[in-house]
Amino acid sequence: MGLYVFKIDVLLDLLRSHYPTSNDFESEIISMAAEEFNVQILNSIISHGCFLRHCHVEHSIVGVRSRLEYGVEMKDTIMMGSDYYQTEAEIASILGEGIVPMGVGSKTKISNCIIDKNAKISKNVIIANQDKVEEAERPSEGFYIRSDITVVLKNFTIPDRTII
């Protein structure tokens, strides 16, 4: 038995319009909705309370209360999650102020990474260590590299279009 959280209008639309003859919520509705809404999860663990929107997660662990926006691609990554939720209203408000919300922004690509708690990674970011750097000290930029693995620091904000 699982715990699922939906916006009521999305859930009603799924049940009434998309899958009115389905009998099993997890094996039929959840799996078909994930495919229909372009959420691809392969060999990964997704913790409770995550928000995943049109994203691809492969061989990764996504921690509690994590948010992955549209077009995120995550591979070989551990994301620790968040200590608290930001509501849709809070996110809209802080985006209006030019502040990055909790989680991973749209069209961001992350691989071979550890993302510590409460990190804020903006949109169009690439964290891939394409130069295969073995060790790097960049705490003022919000990350370290250890044994070819990028570590994003706790509570740090990675700005738009950053390439690591």
Q: Break the chain into its structural domains and give their ranges.
A: 1-37, 38-158
Confidence (pLDDT) at 38? 75
Residues 6 or more apart whose Cβ sits within 8 Å of residue 57: 40, 41, 42, 44, 46, 68, 72, 74, 75
Residue range 97-108: average pLDDT?
A: 96
| 112 pLDDT more than 80 | yes
Query: Quick one: fold of 38-158?
Result: UDP N-Acetylglucosamine Acyltransferase; domain 1 (2.160.10)
User: pLDDT tens, 28-65?
Assistant: 777 777 777 778 888 999 998 888 889 999 999 999 99
Q: Where are the beta strands (DSSP E) in the chain?
A: 40-42, 45-46, 51-52, 56-58, 61-62, 67-68, 73-79, 103-104, 109-115, 120-121, 126-127, 135-138, 143-146, 149-152, 157-158
At residue 40, the pLDDT reads 86
- What value does the mean pLDDT take over residues 6-19? 79
To the question of pTM greater than 0.85 for the whole model, the response is no
- pLDDT tens digits, one per residue of 74-99: 999 999 999 998 998 999 999 999 99
Distance CA 125, CA 131 (A): 16
Percent of the chain with pLDDT over 70: 96
At 1 the pLDDT is: 47
Three-class secondary structure of residue 125 per DSSP: coil
Per-residue pLDDT band for 164 (boundaries 50, 70, 90) equals: very high
User: What is the pLDDT of the chain when averaged over all its residues?
Assistant: 90
pLDDT class for 2, splitting at 50, 70, 90? low
Structure tokens at 131: 């130069």
71: which 2 tokens? 């077009």
